[in-house]
Amino acid sequence: MNNLQVADVFTNIADLLEIKGENIYKILAYRKAAESLNSLAQDVNEVWRDGKLKDVPGIGKAISDKIDELLSTGKLGFFEKLKQEVPISLVELLHVPDVGPKKVALFWHSLGITDVAGLEAAAKAGQLRTLPGMGEKSEAKILNGIEALHKRSGRIPIGRAWVEAQALLDYLHGVPAISRVELAGSLRRMRSTIGDLDLVAASTDPAVAMAAFKNYPQVIQVMGGGEAKTSVELYRGLRVQLWVQPPERFGTLWQYATGSKEHNVRLRELALDKGYSLSEQHMARADGSELLCASEEEVYAAIGLPYIPPELREDRGEIEAARSGRLPNLITLPDIQAELHCHTTWSDGSYSIREMAEAAMVRGIKVLAITDHSHGLGITHGLSPDDLRQQKLEIDQVQKEVGDRLVLLQGAEVEIHTDGSLEFSDEVLAILDVVIASVHTGLRQPREQVTGRLLNAVRNPHVDIIGHPLGGLIGEREPADVDMDALMAAAAESGTALEINADPSRLDLNDIYARRAIELGIPLSLNRDAHSIETLGQDEFGVATARRGWVEPRHVINAWPVQALLDWLRNPSGRLNTHK
Protein backbone atom coordinates (compact mmCIF):
# COMPACT_ATOMS: atom_id res chain seq x y z
CA MET A 1 0.00 0.00 0.00
CA ASN A 2 1.26 3.48 -0.81
CA ASN A 3 0.92 6.68 1.23
CA LEU A 4 -2.37 7.69 -0.37
CA GLN A 5 -3.98 4.32 0.19
CA VAL A 6 -3.01 4.24 3.86
CA ALA A 7 -4.15 7.86 4.26
CA ASP A 8 -7.50 6.98 2.67
CA VAL A 9 -8.10 4.30 5.29
CA PHE A 10 -7.69 6.84 8.09
CA THR A 11 -9.79 9.45 6.28
CA ASN A 12 -12.58 6.89 5.92
CA ILE A 13 -12.26 5.97 9.58
CA ALA A 14 -12.57 9.64 10.56
CA ASP A 15 -15.63 10.06 8.34
CA LEU A 16 -17.36 6.97 9.73
CA LEU A 17 -16.59 7.92 13.31
CA GLU A 18 -18.01 11.40 12.71
CA ILE A 19 -21.18 9.93 11.23
CA LYS A 20 -21.36 7.61 14.24
CA GLY A 21 -21.06 10.63 16.55
CA GLU A 22 -17.78 9.74 18.25
CA ASN A 23 -15.57 12.12 20.23
CA ILE A 24 -14.31 15.00 18.08
CA TYR A 25 -10.72 14.67 19.31
CA LYS A 26 -10.62 11.02 18.30
CA ILE A 27 -11.88 12.00 14.86
CA LEU A 28 -9.33 14.80 14.52
CA ALA A 29 -6.53 12.38 15.44
CA TYR A 30 -7.37 10.19 12.44
CA ARG A 31 -7.69 13.22 10.16
CA LYS A 32 -4.32 14.50 11.32
CA ALA A 33 -2.76 11.12 10.61
CA ALA A 34 -4.26 11.09 7.11
CA GLU A 35 -3.00 14.61 6.44
CA SER A 36 0.51 13.71 7.60
CA LEU A 37 0.58 10.62 5.40
CA ASN A 38 -0.64 12.56 2.38
CA SER A 39 2.14 15.14 2.79
CA LEU A 40 4.85 12.63 3.79
CA ALA A 41 7.82 12.94 1.43
CA GLN A 42 9.02 9.38 2.12
CA ASP A 43 7.33 6.12 1.21
CA VAL A 44 5.35 5.09 4.30
CA ASN A 45 6.60 1.52 3.82
CA GLU A 46 10.20 2.67 4.25
CA VAL A 47 9.33 4.66 7.36
CA TRP A 48 7.50 1.62 8.73
CA ARG A 49 10.39 -0.76 8.00
CA ASP A 50 12.80 1.66 9.67
CA GLY A 51 10.61 1.73 12.78
CA LYS A 52 10.15 5.50 12.55
CA LEU A 53 6.38 5.82 12.18
CA LYS A 54 6.07 7.62 15.51
CA ASP A 55 8.52 10.25 14.26
CA VAL A 56 5.90 11.39 11.74
CA PRO A 57 3.87 14.34 13.11
CA GLY A 58 0.36 13.31 14.10
CA ILE A 59 1.21 9.62 14.40
CA GLY A 60 1.42 8.33 17.96
CA LYS A 61 1.52 4.80 19.29
CA ALA A 62 -2.14 3.97 18.60
CA ILE A 63 -2.02 5.12 14.97
CA SER A 64 1.45 3.62 14.51
CA ASP A 65 0.13 0.23 15.66
CA LYS A 66 -2.73 0.46 13.19
CA ILE A 67 -0.39 1.31 10.30
CA ASP A 68 1.78 -1.63 11.31
CA GLU A 69 -1.24 -3.95 11.17
CA LEU A 70 -2.38 -2.47 7.86
CA LEU A 71 1.00 -2.81 6.15
CA SER A 72 1.66 -6.23 7.65
CA THR A 73 -1.67 -7.84 6.76
CA GLY A 74 -3.29 -5.58 4.18
CA LYS A 75 -6.26 -5.10 6.51
CA LEU A 76 -7.12 -3.21 9.68
CA GLY A 77 -9.38 -5.01 12.14
CA PHE A 78 -10.65 -1.77 13.68
CA PHE A 79 -11.67 -0.47 10.24
CA GLU A 80 -13.34 -3.74 9.26
CA LYS A 81 -15.37 -3.76 12.48
CA LEU A 82 -16.31 -0.10 12.02
CA LYS A 83 -17.60 -0.81 8.51
CA GLN A 84 -19.91 -3.46 9.99
CA GLU A 85 -21.34 -0.85 12.36
CA VAL A 86 -21.52 2.05 9.87
CA PRO A 87 -21.96 1.33 6.13
CA ILE A 88 -18.90 2.56 4.23
CA SER A 89 -21.17 3.78 1.42
CA LEU A 90 -22.34 6.57 3.75
CA VAL A 91 -19.01 8.31 3.05
CA GLU A 92 -20.31 8.97 -0.48
CA LEU A 93 -23.02 11.20 0.98
CA LEU A 94 -20.39 13.54 2.43
CA HIS A 95 -19.44 14.51 -1.13
CA VAL A 96 -22.90 16.01 -1.67
CA PRO A 97 -22.73 19.80 -1.09
CA ASP A 98 -24.35 20.90 2.19
CA VAL A 99 -24.50 17.36 3.55
CA GLY A 100 -22.36 16.90 6.65
CA PRO A 101 -21.94 14.00 9.08
CA LYS A 102 -24.94 14.95 11.25
CA LYS A 103 -27.27 14.99 8.24
CA VAL A 104 -25.83 11.72 6.97
CA ALA A 105 -26.53 10.13 10.34
CA LEU A 106 -30.06 11.59 10.33
CA PHE A 107 -30.82 10.23 6.86
CA TRP A 108 -29.39 6.83 7.73
CA HIS A 109 -31.13 6.37 11.08
CA SER A 110 -34.46 7.91 10.04
CA LEU A 111 -34.88 6.64 6.47
CA GLY A 112 -32.29 3.89 6.07
CA ILE A 113 -30.45 5.87 3.37
CA THR A 114 -26.97 4.48 2.77
CA ASP A 115 -25.89 5.91 -0.61
CA VAL A 116 -26.36 8.84 -2.99
CA ALA A 117 -28.94 7.01 -5.09
CA GLY A 118 -31.06 6.41 -1.99
CA LEU A 119 -30.72 10.03 -0.92
CA GLU A 120 -31.77 11.27 -4.34
CA ALA A 121 -34.81 9.00 -4.41
CA ALA A 122 -35.89 10.11 -0.93
CA ALA A 123 -35.47 13.78 -1.84
CA LYS A 124 -37.51 13.41 -5.04
CA ALA A 125 -40.22 11.63 -3.04
CA GLY A 126 -40.38 14.53 -0.58
CA GLN A 127 -39.27 12.39 2.35
CA LEU A 128 -36.40 14.60 3.56
CA ARG A 129 -38.50 17.68 4.28
CA THR A 130 -40.31 15.89 7.10
CA LEU A 131 -37.11 15.23 9.08
CA PRO A 132 -35.99 17.42 12.02
CA GLY A 133 -34.21 20.56 10.87
CA MET A 134 -35.15 19.98 7.24
CA GLY A 135 -37.75 21.56 4.98
CA GLU A 136 -38.59 22.08 1.32
CA LYS A 137 -35.69 24.48 0.76
CA SER A 138 -33.20 22.10 2.40
CA GLU A 139 -34.52 19.25 0.32
CA ALA A 140 -34.21 21.31 -2.88
CA LYS A 141 -30.62 22.25 -1.97
CA ILE A 142 -29.72 18.60 -1.55
CA LEU A 143 -31.20 17.75 -4.95
CA ASN A 144 -29.18 20.58 -6.51
CA GLY A 145 -26.09 19.29 -4.73
CA ILE A 146 -26.62 15.78 -6.05
CA GLU A 147 -27.02 17.18 -9.56
CA ALA A 148 -23.73 19.07 -9.18
CA LEU A 149 -22.06 15.88 -7.91
CA HIS A 150 -23.27 13.94 -10.96
CA LYS A 151 -21.77 16.60 -13.25
CA ARG A 152 -18.29 16.20 -11.82
CA SER A 153 -15.87 14.45 -14.14
CA GLY A 154 -13.83 11.40 -13.32
CA ARG A 155 -10.73 13.56 -13.15
CA ILE A 156 -8.71 13.56 -9.95
CA PRO A 157 -7.18 16.51 -8.07
CA ILE A 158 -3.62 17.40 -9.01
CA GLY A 159 -2.37 16.73 -5.46
CA ARG A 160 -3.31 13.06 -5.60
CA ALA A 161 -2.11 12.64 -9.20
CA TRP A 162 1.22 14.24 -8.31
CA VAL A 163 1.91 11.77 -5.50
CA GLU A 164 1.01 8.80 -7.72
CA ALA A 165 3.22 10.18 -10.51
CA GLN A 166 6.24 10.75 -8.27
CA ALA A 167 6.07 7.17 -6.98
CA LEU A 168 5.95 5.85 -10.54
CA LEU A 169 8.79 8.14 -11.66
CA ASP A 170 10.93 6.90 -8.77
CA TYR A 171 10.30 3.33 -9.87
CA LEU A 172 11.09 3.99 -13.54
CA HIS A 173 14.25 5.92 -12.67
CA GLY A 174 15.57 2.62 -11.33
CA VAL A 175 15.05 0.77 -14.63
CA PRO A 176 18.48 0.40 -16.35
CA ALA A 177 16.93 0.37 -19.83
CA ILE A 178 15.48 3.87 -19.28
CA SER A 179 17.95 6.76 -19.55
CA ARG A 180 15.38 9.48 -18.87
CA VAL A 181 11.75 9.64 -17.78
CA GLU A 182 9.56 12.73 -17.35
CA LEU A 183 5.99 13.84 -16.71
CA ALA A 184 3.86 14.84 -19.69
CA GLY A 185 0.20 15.54 -20.40
CA SER A 186 -2.09 17.66 -18.25
CA LEU A 187 -0.05 16.98 -15.10
CA ARG A 188 3.04 18.56 -16.63
CA ARG A 189 0.88 21.50 -17.74
CA MET A 190 -0.24 21.58 -14.07
CA ARG A 191 -3.98 21.57 -14.60
CA SER A 192 -5.91 21.46 -11.33
CA THR A 193 -7.44 18.08 -12.22
CA ILE A 194 -5.98 15.17 -14.13
CA GLY A 195 -7.59 12.50 -16.29
CA ASP A 196 -5.05 9.94 -17.42
CA LEU A 197 -1.41 10.21 -16.37
CA ASP A 198 1.15 10.55 -19.17
CA LEU A 199 4.87 9.77 -18.83
CA VAL A 200 7.60 9.83 -21.47
CA ALA A 201 10.87 7.91 -21.44
CA ALA A 202 14.05 7.73 -23.46
CA SER A 203 15.36 4.22 -24.09
CA THR A 204 17.38 2.28 -26.65
CA ASP A 205 15.60 -0.90 -25.55
CA PRO A 206 11.87 -0.02 -25.49
CA ALA A 207 10.71 -3.63 -25.07
CA VAL A 208 12.59 -3.96 -21.78
CA ALA A 209 11.39 -0.52 -20.66
CA MET A 210 7.77 -1.43 -21.36
CA ALA A 211 8.09 -4.77 -19.59
CA ALA A 212 9.37 -3.01 -16.48
CA PHE A 213 6.48 -0.53 -16.68
CA LYS A 214 3.94 -3.33 -16.84
CA ASN A 215 5.54 -4.94 -13.78
CA TYR A 216 5.10 -1.84 -11.62
CA PRO A 217 3.57 -3.21 -8.38
CA GLN A 218 0.55 -0.87 -8.51
CA VAL A 219 -0.54 -2.05 -11.98
CA ILE A 220 -3.75 -4.08 -11.82
CA GLN A 221 -4.24 -4.50 -15.57
CA VAL A 222 -2.55 -3.70 -18.87
CA MET A 223 -4.96 -1.85 -21.13
CA GLY A 224 -2.90 -2.27 -24.30
CA GLY A 225 0.01 -0.94 -26.27
CA GLY A 226 3.21 -1.81 -28.07
CA GLU A 227 6.87 -0.83 -28.24
CA ALA A 228 6.26 2.93 -28.40
CA LYS A 229 3.29 3.30 -26.05
CA THR A 230 1.66 1.22 -23.33
CA SER A 231 -1.40 1.97 -21.17
CA VAL A 232 -2.07 0.44 -17.76
CA GLU A 233 -4.54 0.86 -14.94
CA LEU A 234 -3.32 1.33 -11.40
CA TYR A 235 -4.96 0.45 -8.13
CA ARG A 236 -7.91 2.84 -7.47
CA GLY A 237 -8.56 3.33 -11.19
CA LEU A 238 -5.91 5.80 -12.35
CA ARG A 239 -4.81 5.06 -15.92
CA VAL A 240 -1.23 5.72 -16.99
CA GLN A 241 0.35 5.88 -20.43
CA LEU A 242 4.08 5.51 -20.98
CA TRP A 243 5.52 6.72 -24.28
CA VAL A 244 9.03 5.59 -25.27
CA GLN A 245 11.42 6.82 -27.97
CA PRO A 246 15.21 6.69 -28.43
CA PRO A 247 17.10 9.56 -26.74
CA GLU A 248 17.68 11.43 -30.01
CA ARG A 249 13.89 11.61 -30.55
CA PHE A 250 12.98 12.49 -26.96
CA GLY A 251 12.36 16.21 -27.59
CA THR A 252 9.61 15.72 -30.17
CA LEU A 253 8.05 12.99 -28.03
CA TRP A 254 8.02 15.12 -24.87
CA GLN A 255 6.55 18.12 -26.66
CA TYR A 256 3.87 16.02 -28.36
CA ALA A 257 2.83 14.09 -25.23
CA THR A 258 2.70 17.26 -23.10
CA GLY A 259 0.05 18.89 -25.29
CA SER A 260 -2.38 20.48 -25.14
CA LYS A 261 -4.02 19.18 -28.30
CA GLU A 262 -4.94 22.72 -29.32
CA HIS A 263 -1.39 23.99 -28.76
CA ASN A 264 0.01 21.09 -30.80
CA VAL A 265 -2.34 21.78 -33.69
CA ARG A 266 -0.99 25.32 -33.87
CA LEU A 267 2.60 24.06 -33.75
CA ARG A 268 1.98 21.60 -36.57
CA GLU A 269 0.59 24.42 -38.69
CA LEU A 270 3.71 26.51 -38.07
CA ALA A 271 5.92 23.48 -38.77
CA LEU A 272 4.23 22.96 -42.12
CA ASP A 273 4.95 26.59 -42.99
CA LYS A 274 8.64 25.78 -42.34
CA GLY A 275 8.50 22.64 -44.49
CA TYR A 276 8.24 20.10 -41.66
CA SER A 277 5.70 17.49 -40.67
CA LEU A 278 5.77 17.35 -36.87
CA SER A 279 4.99 14.14 -34.96
CA GLU A 280 6.00 12.53 -31.69
CA GLN A 281 8.91 10.80 -33.46
CA HIS A 282 10.51 13.50 -35.54
CA MET A 283 10.22 16.53 -37.77
CA ALA A 284 10.07 15.11 -41.31
CA ARG A 285 10.98 17.12 -44.40
CA ALA A 286 9.11 16.84 -47.68
CA ASP A 287 11.99 14.80 -49.17
CA GLY A 288 11.61 12.19 -46.44
CA SER A 289 14.66 13.21 -44.43
CA GLU A 290 14.32 13.74 -40.69
CA LEU A 291 15.24 16.45 -38.23
CA LEU A 292 15.72 14.71 -34.88
CA CYS A 293 15.26 16.71 -31.68
CA ALA A 294 16.63 15.43 -28.40
CA SER A 295 15.17 18.44 -26.53
CA GLU A 296 11.99 20.49 -26.67
CA GLU A 297 14.04 23.66 -27.18
CA GLU A 298 15.20 22.21 -30.51
CA VAL A 299 11.59 21.58 -31.55
CA TYR A 300 10.50 25.15 -30.90
CA ALA A 301 13.68 26.60 -32.40
CA ALA A 302 13.14 24.65 -35.64
CA ILE A 303 9.69 26.23 -35.91
CA GLY A 304 11.13 29.66 -35.22
CA LEU A 305 9.83 30.10 -31.67
CA PRO A 306 11.44 30.52 -28.26
CA TYR A 307 10.77 27.77 -25.74
CA ILE A 308 7.22 27.99 -24.38
CA PRO A 309 6.79 26.80 -20.75
CA PRO A 310 4.39 23.84 -20.49
CA GLU A 311 1.94 25.70 -18.19
CA LEU A 312 1.18 28.11 -21.05
CA ARG A 313 0.52 25.51 -23.74
CA GLU A 314 -3.26 25.85 -23.91
CA ASP A 315 -3.64 27.92 -27.12
CA ARG A 316 -4.57 31.02 -25.13
CA GLY A 317 -2.31 33.41 -26.99
CA GLU A 318 1.04 31.86 -26.11
CA ILE A 319 1.96 31.22 -29.78
CA GLU A 320 1.34 34.86 -30.69
CA ALA A 321 3.21 36.06 -27.61
CA ALA A 322 6.18 33.84 -28.45
CA ARG A 323 6.30 35.06 -32.06
CA SER A 324 6.31 38.70 -30.96
CA GLY A 325 8.70 38.27 -28.02
CA ARG A 326 6.02 38.95 -25.40
CA LEU A 327 6.06 35.74 -23.36
CA PRO A 328 5.67 36.57 -19.65
CA ASN A 329 8.51 36.30 -17.15
CA LEU A 330 6.62 33.66 -15.18
CA ILE A 331 6.80 33.50 -11.41
CA THR A 332 8.84 30.64 -9.89
CA LEU A 333 8.84 29.05 -6.45
CA PRO A 334 12.05 30.81 -5.31
CA ASP A 335 10.35 34.16 -6.01
CA ILE A 336 8.01 33.67 -3.04
CA GLN A 337 9.45 35.69 -0.16
CA ALA A 338 6.56 35.64 2.31
CA GLU A 339 3.79 33.40 3.62
CA LEU A 340 0.80 35.55 4.51
CA HIS A 341 -1.73 32.86 5.42
CA CYS A 342 -0.93 30.26 8.08
CA HIS A 343 -2.59 28.80 11.16
CA THR A 344 -1.21 27.73 14.52
CA THR A 345 -2.48 26.03 17.66
CA TRP A 346 -4.27 29.29 18.46
CA SER A 347 -6.99 28.05 16.07
CA ASP A 348 -6.94 24.89 13.92
CA GLY A 349 -3.22 24.62 13.22
CA SER A 350 -1.05 21.78 14.50
CA TYR A 351 2.02 23.73 15.64
CA SER A 352 2.90 26.71 17.81
CA ILE A 353 3.94 30.14 16.56
CA ARG A 354 7.55 29.37 17.45
CA GLU A 355 7.48 26.06 15.57
CA MET A 356 5.96 27.67 12.47
CA ALA A 357 8.56 30.45 12.64
CA GLU A 358 11.42 27.96 12.86
CA ALA A 359 10.04 26.03 9.87
CA ALA A 360 9.63 29.24 7.89
CA MET A 361 13.27 30.18 8.41
CA VAL A 362 14.44 26.71 7.37
CA ARG A 363 12.46 27.13 4.13
CA GLY A 364 13.92 30.54 3.39
CA ILE A 365 10.73 32.48 4.09
CA LYS A 366 11.50 36.09 5.06
CA VAL A 367 8.04 37.23 6.24
CA LEU A 368 5.51 35.06 8.07
CA ALA A 369 2.02 36.26 8.94
CA ILE A 370 0.19 34.34 11.67
CA THR A 371 -3.42 34.46 10.49
CA ASP A 372 -5.48 32.25 12.77
CA HIS A 373 -9.23 32.07 12.32
CA SER A 374 -11.65 34.42 13.99
CA HIS A 375 -13.85 32.77 16.60
CA GLY A 376 -17.06 32.85 14.52
CA LEU A 377 -15.98 29.75 12.61
CA GLY A 378 -16.73 27.41 15.51
CA ILE A 379 -15.03 24.26 14.27
CA THR A 380 -11.65 26.04 14.21
CA HIS A 381 -11.70 27.16 17.88
CA GLY A 382 -10.83 30.63 16.59
CA LEU A 383 -9.71 33.81 18.31
CA SER A 384 -11.69 36.51 20.07
CA PRO A 385 -10.39 40.10 20.31
CA ASP A 386 -9.04 39.27 23.78
CA ASP A 387 -7.25 36.23 22.35
CA LEU A 388 -5.66 38.44 19.71
CA ARG A 389 -4.14 40.63 22.38
CA GLN A 390 -2.69 37.59 24.15
CA GLN A 391 -1.44 36.16 20.90
CA LYS A 392 0.33 39.43 20.08
CA LEU A 393 2.43 39.04 23.24
CA GLU A 394 3.56 35.61 22.08
CA ILE A 395 4.32 36.85 18.56
CA ASP A 396 6.39 39.70 19.96
CA GLN A 397 8.33 37.27 22.16
CA VAL A 398 9.08 34.94 19.26
CA GLN A 399 10.11 37.94 17.14
CA LYS A 400 12.66 38.90 19.79
CA GLU A 401 14.01 35.37 19.82
CA VAL A 402 14.42 35.03 16.05
CA GLY A 403 15.72 38.58 15.55
CA ASP A 404 16.12 39.83 12.01
CA ARG A 405 16.13 36.33 10.50
CA LEU A 406 12.37 36.57 10.01
CA VAL A 407 9.69 39.27 10.07
CA LEU A 408 6.66 38.04 12.03
CA LEU A 409 3.30 39.71 11.45
CA GLN A 410 0.05 39.31 13.33
CA GLY A 411 -2.95 38.82 11.16
CA ALA A 412 -6.25 36.98 11.16
CA GLU A 413 -8.42 35.07 8.73
CA VAL A 414 -11.68 36.83 9.45
CA GLU A 415 -14.97 35.19 8.62
CA ILE A 416 -17.39 37.02 6.32
CA HIS A 417 -20.76 36.25 7.88
CA THR A 418 -23.79 35.22 5.85
CA ASP A 419 -25.20 38.74 6.26
CA GLY A 420 -22.00 40.29 4.86
CA SER A 421 -20.61 41.60 8.15
CA LEU A 422 -17.07 40.76 9.26
CA GLU A 423 -16.33 38.83 12.44
CA PHE A 424 -14.20 41.61 13.95
CA SER A 425 -15.01 45.30 14.26
CA ASP A 426 -13.02 47.88 12.31
CA GLU A 427 -11.30 48.87 15.56
CA VAL A 428 -9.97 45.33 16.00
CA LEU A 429 -9.05 44.96 12.32
CA ALA A 430 -7.06 48.19 12.48
CA ILE A 431 -4.55 46.76 14.97
CA LEU A 432 -3.68 43.78 12.76
CA ASP A 433 -0.78 43.74 10.29
CA VAL A 434 -2.62 41.52 7.80
CA VAL A 435 -6.35 40.92 7.42
CA ILE A 436 -7.61 38.06 5.25
CA ALA A 437 -11.37 37.98 4.79
CA SER A 438 -12.82 34.62 3.75
CA VAL A 439 -16.11 32.85 3.21
CA HIS A 440 -16.36 29.34 4.69
CA THR A 441 -20.10 29.01 5.28
CA GLY A 442 -23.21 29.84 3.27
CA LEU A 443 -21.49 28.97 0.00
CA ARG A 444 -24.78 27.90 -1.54
CA GLN A 445 -26.39 31.30 -1.08
CA PRO A 446 -27.90 32.91 -4.19
CA ARG A 447 -25.41 34.65 -6.49
CA GLU A 448 -26.40 38.18 -5.52
CA GLN A 449 -26.16 37.45 -1.80
CA VAL A 450 -22.82 35.63 -1.74
CA THR A 451 -21.32 38.20 -4.11
CA GLY A 452 -22.55 41.00 -1.87
CA ARG A 453 -20.75 39.48 1.10
CA LEU A 454 -17.44 39.48 -0.76
CA LEU A 455 -17.98 43.01 -2.10
CA ASN A 456 -18.53 44.26 1.43
CA ALA A 457 -15.21 42.76 2.49
CA VAL A 458 -13.31 44.04 -0.54
CA ARG A 459 -14.48 47.57 0.14
CA ASN A 460 -13.46 47.50 3.80
CA PRO A 461 -10.23 49.54 4.00
CA HIS A 462 -8.85 47.24 6.70
CA VAL A 463 -9.10 44.09 4.54
CA ASP A 464 -5.85 43.32 2.73
CA ILE A 465 -6.62 39.99 1.06
CA ILE A 466 -9.70 38.01 0.07
CA GLY A 467 -8.85 34.40 0.91
CA HIS A 468 -9.77 31.56 -1.50
CA PRO A 469 -12.53 33.74 -3.04
CA LEU A 470 -14.81 30.98 -4.40
CA GLY A 471 -14.48 28.63 -1.44
CA GLY A 472 -14.67 25.37 -3.40
CA LEU A 473 -12.76 22.15 -2.81
CA ILE A 474 -11.65 20.39 -5.99
CA GLY A 475 -13.70 17.25 -6.57
CA GLU A 476 -15.46 17.62 -3.22
CA ARG A 477 -17.30 20.93 -2.91
CA GLU A 478 -18.66 23.17 -5.63
CA PRO A 479 -17.44 26.78 -5.57
CA ALA A 480 -19.82 29.55 -4.60
CA ASP A 481 -21.77 31.18 -7.42
CA VAL A 482 -19.87 34.46 -7.24
CA ASP A 483 -20.19 37.24 -9.81
CA MET A 484 -16.48 37.39 -10.52
CA ASP A 485 -16.79 40.39 -12.83
CA ALA A 486 -18.29 42.41 -9.98
CA LEU A 487 -15.75 41.12 -7.45
CA MET A 488 -12.79 41.91 -9.69
CA ALA A 489 -14.10 45.35 -10.55
CA ALA A 490 -14.35 46.13 -6.84
CA ALA A 491 -10.88 44.70 -6.13
CA ALA A 492 -9.40 46.75 -8.97
CA GLU A 493 -11.04 49.85 -7.52
CA SER A 494 -9.91 49.25 -3.92
CA GLY A 495 -6.52 47.64 -4.55
CA THR A 496 -7.44 44.68 -2.32
CA ALA A 497 -5.44 41.54 -3.14
CA LEU A 498 -7.10 38.31 -4.23
CA GLU A 499 -5.54 35.08 -3.03
CA ILE A 500 -4.28 32.17 -5.05
CA ASN A 501 -4.59 29.52 -2.38
CA ALA A 502 -1.82 26.97 -3.00
CA ASP A 503 -3.53 24.14 -1.14
CA PRO A 504 -3.91 21.53 -3.93
CA SER A 505 -7.48 20.86 -2.81
CA ARG A 506 -8.34 24.53 -3.46
CA LEU A 507 -6.15 26.34 -6.07
CA ASP A 508 -8.53 29.26 -5.76
CA LEU A 509 -8.25 31.68 -7.65
CA ASN A 510 -7.86 29.41 -10.66
CA ASP A 511 -5.65 30.21 -13.62
CA ILE A 512 -8.37 31.89 -15.69
CA TYR A 513 -9.33 34.33 -12.94
CA ALA A 514 -5.68 34.92 -12.01
CA ARG A 515 -4.96 36.06 -15.55
CA ARG A 516 -7.99 38.31 -15.57
CA ALA A 517 -6.93 39.79 -12.23
CA ILE A 518 -3.50 40.85 -13.46
CA GLU A 519 -5.03 42.31 -16.61
CA LEU A 520 -7.16 44.52 -14.33
CA GLY A 521 -4.21 45.51 -12.15
CA ILE A 522 -5.43 43.56 -9.11
CA PRO A 523 -2.59 42.46 -6.78
CA LEU A 524 -2.41 38.76 -6.02
CA SER A 525 -1.31 37.00 -2.85
CA LEU A 526 -0.03 33.44 -3.22
CA ASN A 527 -0.24 31.46 0.04
CA ARG A 528 -0.22 27.84 1.16
CA ASP A 529 -2.85 28.36 3.89
CA ALA A 530 -0.53 26.20 5.99
CA HIS A 531 -1.91 24.40 9.04
CA SER A 532 1.34 22.54 9.78
CA ILE A 533 5.09 22.82 9.36
CA GLU A 534 4.88 20.04 6.78
CA THR A 535 2.80 22.18 4.43
CA LEU A 536 4.37 25.56 5.20
CA GLY A 537 6.17 26.85 2.11
CA GLN A 538 4.77 24.10 -0.12
CA ASP A 539 3.51 26.57 -2.70
CA GLU A 540 4.36 24.52 -5.81
CA PHE A 541 0.79 24.02 -6.95
CA GLY A 542 -0.13 27.64 -6.30
CA VAL A 543 2.89 28.82 -8.29
CA ALA A 544 1.91 26.45 -11.10
CA THR A 545 -1.63 27.86 -11.10
CA ALA A 546 -0.21 31.38 -11.24
CA ARG A 547 2.09 30.43 -14.12
CA ARG A 548 -0.91 29.04 -16.02
CA GLY A 549 -2.46 32.47 -15.48
CA TRP A 550 0.58 34.26 -17.00
CA VAL A 551 1.47 35.71 -13.60
CA GLU A 552 4.87 37.36 -13.07
CA PRO A 553 6.62 38.07 -9.74
CA ARG A 554 5.61 41.74 -9.91
CA HIS A 555 1.95 40.71 -9.75
CA VAL A 556 2.29 38.81 -6.44
CA ILE A 557 2.76 40.77 -3.21
CA ASN A 558 4.54 37.81 -1.54
CA ALA A 559 7.20 37.96 -4.26
CA TRP A 560 8.09 41.59 -3.64
CA PRO A 561 11.12 42.70 -1.62
CA VAL A 562 10.31 42.65 2.09
CA GLN A 563 10.18 46.41 2.52
CA ALA A 564 7.92 46.84 -0.52
CA LEU A 565 5.50 44.27 0.93
CA LEU A 566 5.50 45.92 4.34
CA ASP A 567 4.93 49.35 2.78
CA TRP A 568 1.98 47.92 0.83
CA LEU A 569 0.42 46.43 3.95
CA ARG A 570 0.82 49.67 5.89
CA ASN A 571 -0.48 51.98 3.17
CA PRO A 572 -3.91 50.86 1.87
CA SER A 573 -4.47 54.18 0.13
CA GLY A 574 -1.45 53.66 -2.15
CA ARG A 575 -2.32 50.22 -3.52
CA LEU A 576 -3.88 50.95 -6.88
CA ASN A 577 -2.03 49.51 -9.90
CA THR A 578 1.06 48.80 -7.79
CA HIS A 579 2.30 46.05 -10.12
CA LYS A 580 1.86 47.80 -13.45
Which 8-state DSSP code applies to residue 531? S
* pLDDT 10s digits, 454-509: 999 999 999 999 999 999 988 778 889 999 999 999 999 999 999 999 999 999 99
State how beta strands 524-527 and 338-342 pair.
Answer: unpaired
Domains contained in the chain, CATH given: 3-151 (1.10.150.110), 246-327 (3.30.210.10), 335-574 (3.20.20.140)
Residue 38 CA: distances (Å) to CA of 159, 190, 299, 324: 9, 19, 37, 43
pTM of the model: 0.80
Of 205, 247, 241, which is closest to residue 225 (Cα–Cα)?
A: 241
3-state secondary structure (DSSP) of residue 283 = strand
pLDDT tens per residue, range 367-406: 999 999 998 766 667 899 999 999 999 999 999 999 999 9
**What are the tens digits of pLDDT across the range 230-252?**
999 887 678 999 999 999 999 99
pLDDT averaged over every residue in the chain: 92
**Alpha helices in 87-199, H assignment, sequence order:** 90-93, 101-111, 116-124, 136-151, 158-173, 185-188
pLDDT at position 162 is 93
Q: What is residue 580's predicted lDDT score, i.e. its pLDDT? A: 45
Strands 197-202 and 180-184 turn out to be antiparallel
Q: Which residue has the higher pLDDT, 37 or 494?
A: 494
User: Which secondary structure element, helix H or strand E, spans residue 201, and what is its range?
Assistant: strand 197-202
